[in-house]
Amino acid sequence: MNIRNLRKNKEESLTPAPAEEKQYLTFTLNQEIFAVIIHNIKEIIEYAGVTEVPLMPQFMHGVINMRGAVVPVIDLAVRFGKGSSKIGRRSCVVILEVFFAEEYHDIGVLVDSVNEVIEIPASRIEPPPEFGAKVRSEFIAGIGSINDKFVIILDVNHALSLGEMADLVDENVNLSLEHHANSDSREIQ
């Protein structure tokens, strides 16, 4: 190793590391911009309809066949308490990989439109607000600031928690069964 290399290595070690930038896919939902870290995204497909599944909660838009696999499609607008999405010509299904029970699962999310992939430096991301957000705070990984606009960065493993959604499906099925049992008992009397 010569002197020039030593000097260069010393200068490099004194130079502060640039703020870590990560890539995010941005999309629109009810005129708000959301982002998902790119490594969670498996595919983006044009919305071409779904097969509805009976006795599912309202946020469960349906299922699609993706190369022989059944993939549930979640209406994020409903999941976030904003009413049903309005299907338009730019509507897409973003296929995300969600970690649950020690493995990854494919989940589709219905969005109004996909915008672009952007890089957001860690220094431009604030922690999720404890209150006042239009989305449950545990669904938010952070709030990014890009060109004087805020982008809600989703925590997909919480926003699309398969455990929580399975509990909601079970609750919905049980309520439906109770309703039918009560209706049947009234008819008998």
Q: What is the reported pLDDT for 120?
A: 94
Tally of CA atoms within 13 A in the half-sphere of 28 that contains its CB: 12
Q: State which residues of the chain have pLDDT below 70.
A: 1-19, 131-133, 162-189
What would the pLDDT profile of 79-112 be if each residue is shown by its tens digit?
888 888 899 999 999 999 988 778 888 999 999 9
Q: How many domains does the chain have?
A: 1
The answer to whether residue 101 sits within a structural domain is yes
Does residue 77 sit within a domain?
Answer: yes
- Pairwise CA distance, residues 105 & 99, whole Å: 6
User: What local confidence, expressed as pLDDT, does residue 37 receive?
Assistant: 94
Q: What is the pLDDT of residue 90?
A: 96
Q: What is the pLDDT of residue 11?
A: 43
Q: What is the pLDDT of residue 57?
A: 85
The three-state secondary structure class of 133 is: coil
Supply the CATH number for residue 109's domain: 2.40.50.180
Instruction: Give residue 6's pLDDT.
Output: 40
In which domain, by residue range, is 118 found? 19-180
Position 185 scores a pLDDT of 53
Q: What is the reported pLDDT for 146?
A: 86
The C-alpha torsion from 127 through 164 and 77 to 117, rounded to 10°, is 50
